[in-house]
Structures are given as structure tokens and as C-alpha cells.
Structure 1
Amino acid sequence: MGSYTDRETGRQLHAAAFQLDEYLGDGTSWTTSLRLASPYRAEQTVLFAEQDADHRLFELDAAADWPEVPWIWLDLEHHRGETGAIVRPGSPRLVRDLLAAVEGTDGSLPLTSDLLDITAGHVGELCGWLFDANRRVPVVVFTPDPQATDEQHRFATRLARDVAGVAVVVRLPDAAAAAAFSRHVGPHLQVYGGAMRTYLPGLTPQELFPRRHRVLSAATMRALRSRSANAVRDQVLSLSTRRTSPPSYPLVRRVLARGSAEQSAARRRPQVPPAMPQPTLFPDPAEQTLFPTPTESAPSLDRVPDTEPPMPALAEGVESAEANRVLRASLTLGGIDPSAIGLATVPADQRLLEVERRALQDLLIRSVKAAQAAESAATTGTVLKLAEATTEIELLYAEIDDLTQQLGEEQRSQAELEYVRTERDVATIDLSDSERDNERLRARARWLESELTRHQVHLAGVEPPDDFAPPEIPASIVEVLDFASARLPNLEIGATSDAAAGLDVHPRAEHWAFKIWKALAALNSYAEARKSGQWSNSFLAWCLEPPSGGKAVPATWAAMSESETTNTMPKLREARTFTVPRAVIPAGRLYMPAHVKIQQGGTPCPRIHFHDDTGGATGQVYVGYVGDHLPTANFK
């Protein structure tokens, strides 16, 4: 815990951090970290006017972003042991309990773990949330699905619970609400037909890139079935891991670091012994002493009054005048001036010698005590200086820890940036390939138009008939598979919707859907040419030199075999073995090493595995798998 006061403005910032580590029997562990900030403005700033800021360690930057309202930031980490099972993330119960206890908001958007049903009369309020510039969490909107109303409600309710605190789930319960929503957001941002759409922060009514707000079709959710909640939850939670912390987070972290350092220094600060009182070498008048005071009727050292009672008999070995002279000399050598004590002038007067001896001894004792008090004061001063140095060291260590944490966060940001750069490079390669293909096709189209013109057939600028127009490709990979099954008669697509639906939750799903359609169309065109006898070579040769009118993909996409390791390892072969008709092979299952690389690298890395039976009994191409990269010896 820690607190900080801005002396100039009187603002106060209170911060606290909590961490809970849970270790389970299977070797896994969970770490829940919570940080909270609570700003406060003091009414009297004059109390803080005197401040020696130049000599304070760990002084905070008053110009840093100051939180305007209290906030809570919670991180949940799962550390899987060697034998532990993979655990999907979800909203901790602590978040749901906090949202149930207090009214949490993100801008104007209420944060809740409940599903929000928005009727037609409240669509305007929903749009206000969506277009709020201060919103930092996604909003997931479900449209009514007449085919699976109850299933969708259960799915949306479970999703709202799982993403509490990092997203808000909204359902339009009927067609009237869905129609009102479409009118408010416009055709570029609408969602309909039982689909779900995730609206990211920064949404504007004139959205320049509406497709970044992903749509998940009802068909994909039905294909995922019970896994749909996990897939959508993973998509939403992956967005939360990339969310930046509040602007005041660095300030709060430094307050916590300083507070922790001060507490640690206080625990380690040594106990300062009480300082010994500094005695005087000569007593005060009221102090009992052996040395005669001026108010006493002190006897003169050269005569003893007749009225003085006789001194008791001295024990054997009583101090002599010589012993007093030795004691007086010792005091002088020790730096103590004994001249204030009178010297007995009558050597035979034992009483005067005794008075002198006791006075000298009293002076000696007081001198020893004064030396001890001086040593104690020096020790106390040393201990205090050591305590101050310890505090300064603790604060410096806290400063180092805070900077180390900042460095770690910077390194993680660099790693994420590197991943984004890799994704960008892959996308750039894809774009370059597409542009080259596009330019090649445009050049061919211009040549064909010129040839036709040379033969008095003028088709430049004439739109092709509907039969030759490219079809409207679905944006969902699952829908592309259904689309291909209905339109590509030379393909047989197996039960791979589950694997394909796992790709649909990724931001690049629409791009992959288009490339998967191109690959399936190329396989269909190849199979048709093989059936008609126009082609007798492999699919790879087809992609290298496609005949006139034939659909193909770049040859770099096609791979007709796997590595020797994959071919020989039973587990890897089994992962690539899929169901085919018994007319193809009596066993009904076949190893399919041939595949199309939809993406050349990155994660996910979609693949299409197929078997070419165009030269066999059926003359078909069988697609056994469409989904993420299957495991290899180096990739699991």
C-alpha cells in the first residue's frame, strides 16, 4: 500500500496492491494480482506548503496522468505444470464479486457479468455505449436466432459470465430490436440473422474499417456447438491481453513501489537504544555528593573544629596522602582537572585525607559516566545514520525494481510488436502475391480484349454475364465450406467444420475464408479437367502452369507430401488420417499428406489436407481437413 500527496495542488492518491498465489496438486498454479487507485483532493493545501522536495528520494512526477476516478486493474495468470492439462482462461470470481458489490463502468458503459437484453426502445442507449470515445472494452451483440433461441440465450449468458470485466455481452431479443439497431448503426455496422458481432473500442458512426469489428455467423456457432463459448471467449480475452493499462498506471505503480519500500525500511530499521543522560563532572548544589558544598560547614583542610564528631576508626590499609596524590595525578593524565578539590595539607589528619579521597573518587566516577554517555550518544547517532541509510537504500532498491518492471513490460511489448511485425510481413507477402496475380490476370485480360478487337469483337468495358461473375464469397470459413459443398461438384468435403470454426474467431478469418475458397475452387477445376481428359498431371503441376480458363493458386501454396518424420511417426500420421468412402479404400480412412498452405507462417497457420482420387475409382478430390496447422515433430 502507498499514498502520495501533491503538495502544490493538495491532491492525494491512495493505492493498494494484492497478490494471491494458489498452488494445486497437479503442479499448476494460479496468480491473481489486483491493483487499485483512489484519488482524493484535500480541502486545505496550505498544510502541505512546506516541502523540501530537492532532498526527497523517489519523488513522483506531479505532471503525470492523475486518475480522475477510482479504478481497479486485475491480472490472472495460469502456470501449467509439466503434467497439467491446458486450462482455458475466464473471468475470476473476484471480478464478478466486485461487479456485484459496486457499480463498475467503462466510460458510460456499465460493466456487469449479466447478459443485457436491449429492446427496441433502448437501442439508442446501446449505440451511445458503442460510440463512446472513452470505452475501452469490446461489446458483443447477439441478434435473434429463430432456429436456436434457447441455445443462443444459454450461450450468451455463459459468455457474459466468462468475460465479465473485459467485455459486455448484449442480446437483441427480437426482430424489432434487431431492425432498430440496424437503422441506428447503418448497413456497414449492422448484424443480423442470428449472428454475433464484436464491436471494438474506438468505434465511430463513420467507421473507416468496419470489418475490423468481427462477425461470427450463426452457422459457425452451430458448427462449434458446445465449443462455441470457448472459441468466442478466447477471442474476447485475447483482446483483453492486448489492452493498455490506464494512463495513470505508471504513477500508481510508483506510489506502490515507494510505499512498499518505506514499509520494508521500517521493518528493517534497527532499534535505537535510549541515549544515556550526560552527567556533570561536579554535582549540583542539591545533589548528594561526597564533595563538600559551599553551604556546608566544611572543615578547613588545615584544621579540624573541636565540635566535629570524631571520625570512625579507619580500616587497615586506609588511603594515605601519597595514594591521594597518585589518584590526583591519574585524573590529570586522563584529562580531568582535579584542582577544584582542595589538597589536604596535614598528612597526619586521616579525616581530611578521607574527605579528599572520596571527593577524588567521586570525580573519577563522574568522569567515567560522562565518557560512557558520550560513547552512547555517538553510538545512537551512528545507529540513526545507519537507519537513514537503510531507508535510502530501500527506496533506491524500490526504484530499481520499478524500473526493472518497466523494462520487462517494455520487452514484452517489443515481443508483441515483433509478432505484429511478423504478421504484417506475412500479410505483405500475401498482398504482393495477390497483386502480382491480379496484374498478371489484368494483363491477360487486356491481351484477350486486344485480340478480340483485332477480330472485330469489341468487349472492352463490357461487364461479363452473371454466369461468369465471381460469386459473393461468405466471410465465414464454415460458411465457405457449405458454400463450396453446394457449388463445387468435384469435391467431397468431410466433417471438418469444427476445426474450421476454430479459425473463424481469429481477426484474419475473412481473409482466410477467401483464400480457402480460392484453393477449393482450384482443386475443383483441377478435378474437372482430369475427368474430362484435358489434364493428366498432378495438382502441383496444374498450379505451376494452369491451362487457359483453369482456376489455380500459386504453386507455393501446394505441397503434395509431408516430411519423412511426419510420414513415419504414428501420432503424426494419425492426425492426418481422415474418413473417405470405402470405394476409395476399403478401410474407410486414409492418410492425407497432400495439403494447401493457406498461410506460410504465423499462428494460426491454416491448412487444407486432401486426397486426389481423380485417377481412381471415384474421380473426386476428398478434403479431409480445413483448420489450423496439424502437429509436427517441432509444432504441437
Structure 2
Amino acid sequence: MLTTSASLLPTRPRPAEDSSAPGVHDQLVFRTALTVPHADRSLFEAVRSETITWIKTKQNRYPDAPSTSGVHHLDATTVLTSQSRYDEKGAEWALRIQLREDRPEATWRTTVTAVLALPGTEPTAAAAVAVALECFPNGNPEGLRPGRPAIVEKLVAKLRPVDGCGRLTVHALQVTRARAQVNDLIEVLCDPDRHHPVVVAARTTDPDPLWSRRMRQVMPQCAGSAGLYLLADEAAVDAFRREIGEHHRVAPGAVRTFLTGTDPAWPPDAARHRFVSPARMRDPADRAWNAIARAAQRHATQAPIPQLLRDLRFPDDEAATQRRRDALTAVPQPRVPDDTLNEIRHLREENALLLGLLRTADEEIEEKRTSTRLAERTTASLEDQLARARQESLHNLQDAVEALEEAQRAQTEANQLRSRLYQQGRHEDATTPVDEPHPLPTSFEELWDRRETFTRVLLTADRETCIDLDDNDRARVWAGKAWVALRALDSYAEQAQSGFKGAFYDFCTAPLPGAQGWPAKQVAMAEGSATMDQFGGQRVFPVPETVDPSGQAVMEAHLKLDSKGATSPRVHFLDDTKGTTQKIIVGYIGPHLRNTKTN
């Protein structure tokens, strides 16, 4: 049996809201769906109690938040809406609590939804609870850094949700060397019904307060977004490695995030499951550990929600509408007054009642307008996401076609060369296997660690900027392209030292036999004058003082690792093959720098 580990070191208070999420790009900035097995109608009381308590203590702004159904204006800019659905017998089977906060910088909307499964549903999906946070910026979204709502951690602790055959917890479940526990963890990783990532940390071989402190912070931030496990000691690490294999192992001190569809029997699958190395986890200056929670939350947000929640609808509050109708019919009919004072009092009472109903109607109309505006923005955001997904799909298809064409050209060339060798009687040369090339790196961290492979390339780029590219879903593709780009620059420098007279672009348009080429259309040897006038300072990077006494030089030339999306990484370099270093100096590997077309 796996036990919850809160003993990495004693816990300490955490802020009310996590701050590990990235800046706002889409309205839906966080979402998670929790499956609660064997739930009954007490679920709604638990969700309602935890949510209202969280709202009441949320920065001490709403101490009087009610738990009753209806639309409640907590202050001039905050609205709390609570709705329920009931079956034919009057029993509650769905609940939605929504807090909308209209702030100067943005409108924030947090929604907590709970629903019981209908009779006949699989018992493993007895109930589902979802928490979503939406952000609607009022202007430029830069600077907005929404975090996971703290209610998520409270609900995980209260409801004890599951994900497939695994549990979702606030603290990591400890895994010892016991074979049953190791096999249970591997079963969780390989479970086809798992919908959330699983974060597996391996304890360091010797006590490390920094590592423990970081794990205390990271694990609770992943709660509700990922399964959490801790390999308790070196024996557990070894047992896990023996069972899962070398490619999917977790080294002591490392933290690895296993995505859904884990397949330990297929070595190439290991590259999908990113890890933070022990060295980076234990480096006080390294911030890679912050990306663990961000990645888990991102994958949880992108995961499809359960069918239980997908089909759920909450109609307008018909009870409130009926109460207003009853109030109107209860207005006393005009009668002959006993005296003038009674008539005036009667008219005032009637007028006050009608004014109250009118104010309520005005508030509801305004709420409808606000909800409609937010719904329109949500629709626009979803359409934008769909367009980007289609564009990325086409882009991936184009990459695949180009790779296939390149492989076909290489195979054709190899077959022709073998044929010529046969014709010359060099049968042994034609059949001798060629040397295997260096495997492509699966991350920018791996690329950086292998940078000494390129003896004619001097890398002065900022390590953190380069490695931060690993946070992107396309990082593995970009890292492979960056490796080929550095090989091409290294190959060019070798040819330049051997007498090649042209520039790198010339080398790419007609690479020499045996040299590593690079597509000429993905090379830019200079920036536009307008870009350099406005953003030239961003293209100044470190160089040896033998190249420039200032220790810096402008690097306009760059290679394009991608051409779609906001990141579109670039490799900026300076050709010093004819200079003092006789090398290519790479001063930047990172996201596309600003230019005149940047939004």
C-alpha cells in the first residue's frame, strides 16, 4: 500500500493562490476534473462547504458570502452565483458555484461544478468535480499571472479523487523497494484510463534541504493536476529502474513527469516524459523546478473533461422567476381607502415593492449582458484556439512531408552511390555499414550538455534562455533541429578552414560532399534596417574580447528552427571563421526576438 508523504520536510504555510502559472493567452487559464468514486449526495454539501469557506477567506474580501442558491452581489464588482439541479424526486444531483470578480485589470471567473452519475453509470465514475478559472483581460494581458485556485487543493484533500487506478493527493505517495508498490506505480503509469500526468520524484542519496524545500512547494501545486509519487530511497529508485527499464527510469534527485499513454516497452516513448535533472534540482540558481507544476497544470487544463460534466447544463433560475411572479400577484388590488393617509401609505408600500422588483430585474438584465459578453469572448477564444490547432496540424504535416522527402532523397542518393561502387567492383565498400550518427537530443538541456561535440562552434548563449525552450510542447522537435543547425555551422567552419571561400548562406545553397547542410530558406544573414533601428540592442551577444574588446558583438545572422507560433526559436551566430577564434560563435538560442512585425 502506498502512503502519503508529507515528510520531505515539515510543511509550512503557502500563499492562498499559486503563482506558478504562465501569462494569460486564452480565457481558460486553468481547469481540472476530479473523479470521485463511491460518492453520494453528501458530495454536494462537502463541495458547497469547502467552496464557500474558500470564498469567505479569499484575501478576506467576502466574509459574508452566502451558501444559498441564487445570484448574490458580494460587492459592487463581485457576483456569486449558486445553482443546483434536482431529479424528479427533488434530490440534488448537480451543483455549480461561480464567483465573478470584475477588476480593473481583468474579469476573473472561478467555477466549481459537481455532478453525480446517473443510475447505470460505471461505479468508478460515481461523481465528477471540476474547477475552472477564466481570465478576461481588460486590455493588454501582459503582466497578468493567474494561478491555480487554492480551492483545488482543499477539494483534493477532502474528496480523495482517483485517476484511473491511481489516486490524486496533495502530498506525494511514498514508494518503497517493495515489488508490489513498484508494480502498483508502473500500473498507474501505464493505465490507459489515466487522464492526468504523474509526477515521480526520486529522493536524493544524501539529505539536501534545498531539494526538499523545492519538493514541498512543487508537489502541492501539482495537486489535482497530476498524480504524485516519491521513490523513498535509493533501493526504491533501483527497484523502479529494474522494473520499468533504463529509458523510463528516474535518477536519484530527479523529478520526471509521465504523460498519459506511457509505454515502457518502447524506448522512443521515454522522450515524451520530461524530467528535471538532479543537478538542476539542486542548483540554487536554476529555476527549472518551477516548470514542473506549470507543465502539470497545463496538461490538466488541456485534457478533455469527463462526459458527466460535458453534458451538464444549468437552466435559468426558474424558482427566482416564480418568486417575482408571486410577489407581483400578491400586490394588493386598488380599494376604496378609509382615509387619505392610508391611501398614501398603501401607495408607498406598493411603489417600494415594484421598485425593488425593478431593481432586481435590472440587476438580472445586467448579469445576462455580462454573461453574454463573456460568452462571446469565450467563443472567440475557442475559435482562435481551433484556428491555431488547425494551423499547427498543417505545420506538423508539412514538417512530416519535408522529412519524408529528405529521407527519400538521402535513400536515393545512398542507393546511387552503392550502385556506382558495385560498378567499380568495390563490393565490400558498398556493403560495409556506415557509422551511426549521433542521436538527436530530446531536449535543449540535453543539447546544452552535449555542446562540446561541436569543436568549431563556440557557444556563448545564455543557458537558461536556451533551456527554457523545453517548456514548450514542440521542444523535442526544436532541439533536434537545433542540433542539426549546430552540426551545419560546425561543418561550415571545418570547410572554411579548409579553404571554402563563401559565406554560410553560400555553403547552404550548395553544400560540399560529406558536409552537413542546412535549408537555405531557413537562413537569414541579416535583419531589416527598421528592425535593427528599433530592436538592434536585442541582437547584441557575448563574444571573446579577442573578437571585440567590449566582449559583445551584433549578431544579425540567424537560423530558423520554426516559422509558426509566437516562440519560433532562432539561433543567432557570428561568423568568425576568418577571425581570431576561427570558429562560429553562437550567441543566442531562444525564442524569436522582437522585430517590426512583432505584436
CA distance in 2 between counterparts of 1:417 and 1:14 reads 30
Mean Cα deviation higher: 552-561 or 157-166: 157-166
Greater CA drift, 543-552 or 175-184: 175-184
> Quick check: 1:512 aligned with 2:485?
no
Is residue 142 from structure 1 mapped to residue 210 from structure 2 by the alignment?
no
Name 2:529's counterpart in structure 1: 564
The verdict on how the C-alpha distance between 1:147 and 1:582 changes in structure 2, with shifts beyond 3 A counting, is farther
Structure 1 residue identity aligned to 2:542: T
The structural deviation recorded for 1:32 is: 4.3
**Letter paired with 2:308:** S
Structure 1 CA distance, aligned partners of 2:419 and 2:526?
41
1:444-459 residue pairs with structure 2 within 5 A? 444-458=413-427, 459=429
Equivalent residue, structure 1, for 2:44:
none
> Residue 632 and residue 40 in structure 1: after superposition, are their counterparts in 2 closer, same or farther (change >3 A)?
closer
Contact map agreement 1:611 1:622 (CA 8 A) in 2: yes
Once residues 576 and 569 of structure 2 are traced to their aligned partners in structure 1, the CA distance between those partners, rounded to angstroms, is: 23
- Residue identity (%): 28
8 Å contact kept, 2:237–2:252: no
Shift of 1:203: 4.2
Q: Which residue of 2 aligns with 1:92?
A: 149
Q: Distance in 2 between matches of 1:16 and 1:560?
A: 57
TM-score of the aligned structures, taking structure 1 as reference length? 0.68
Per-residue CA shift, 1:485-511, capped at 9, x if unaligned? Answer: x22111110142211211112232222
Superposition pairs of residues 284-323 of structure 1, within 5 angstroms: none
Cα distance in 2 between the residues matched to 1:103 and 1:630:
45
Task: Give the Cα separation in 2 of the matches to 1:89 and 1:404.
Answer: 21
Aligned to 2:577: 614
Q: Secondary structure at the match of 1:573?
A: helix
1:248 matched to 2:308? The reply is: yes
Q: Does the alignment pair 1:434 with 2:494?
A: no
Deviation of the 1:439 alpha carbon:
2.2
Once residues 447 and 194 of structure 1 are traced to their aligned partners in structure 2, the CA distance between those partners, rounded to angstroms, is: 50
1:467-478 equivalences in 2 (<5 Å): 468-478=435-445
* Aligned length in residues: 489
Partner of 1:76: 133
Deviation at 1:449, TM superposition (A): 1.6
Deviations along 1:235-263, one digit per CA (max 9) or x if unpaired, are 222212212222122443x2x334x2432
Displacement of 1:270 after TM fit? 4.4
Instruction: Give runs of aligned pairs for residues 85-484 of structure 1, distance below 5 A.
Output: 86-121=143-178, 122-146=181-205, 149-187=208-246, 189-192=248-251, 194-203=253-262, 210-211=269-270, 213-218=272-277, 225-252=285-312, 254=313, 256-258=314-316, 260-267=317-324, 270-273=327-330, 412-458=381-427, 459-464=429-434, 468-484=435-451
In the alignment, structure 1 segments of 5+ residues that lack a partner are 42-61, 278-364, 366-386
More strand by share: 2
- One-letter amino acid of the structure 2 residue matched with residue 198 of structure 1: T
Structure number, greater radius of gyration: 1
| Whole-Å separation in 2 of the counterparts to 1:39 and 1:445 | 62
Asked whether the equivalents of residues 539 and 554 of structure 2 are also in contact (C-alpha less than 8 Å), the reply is yes
Paired amino acid for 2:515: G
Deviations 1:100-122 (A, max 9, x none): 44433334433233233322222
Aligned match of 2:468: 502
Instruction: Give the Cα–Cα distance (whole angstroms) in 2 for the partners of residues 233 and 87 of structure 1.
Output: 18
Q: 1:439 to 1:250 in 2, by over 3 A?
A: closer
Preserved CA contact (<8 Å) 1:115 1:156: no
Ranges in structure 2 where 5+ consecutive residues have no aligned partner? 1-81, 337-356
Deviates more, 1:217-226 or 1:180-189: 217-226
Secondary structure at 1:120's aligned position in 2?
coil
1:536 aligns with 2:501: yes
Deviation at 1:64, TM superposition (A): 11
Tell me, in whole angstroms, the C-alpha distance in 2 between the residues paired with 1:230 and 1:89.
Answer: 15
> What amino acid is the match of 1:233?
A
Q: Residues 603 and 257 from structure 1, CA distance in 2 versus in 1: closer, same or farther, beyond 3 angstroms?
A: same
Paired with 1:148 and 1:545, the residues of 2 have a C-alpha distance of 56
Q: Following the alignment from structure 1 to structure 2, what is the Cα–Cα distance between the partners of residues 206 and 136?
A: 20
Q: CA deviation at 1:519?
A: 0.5
How far is the alpha carbon of 1:21 from its aligned partner? 1.4
Q: Bigger shift: 124-133 or 580-589?
A: 124-133
Distance 1:611 1:446, change over 3 A: same
Determine which of 474, 477, 487 is the counterpart of 1:521: 487
Structure 2 Cα separation of the partners of residues 159 and 542 of structure 1:
47
TM-aligned CA distance change 1:489 to 1:137, over 3 Å: same
* Equivalence for 2:520: 555
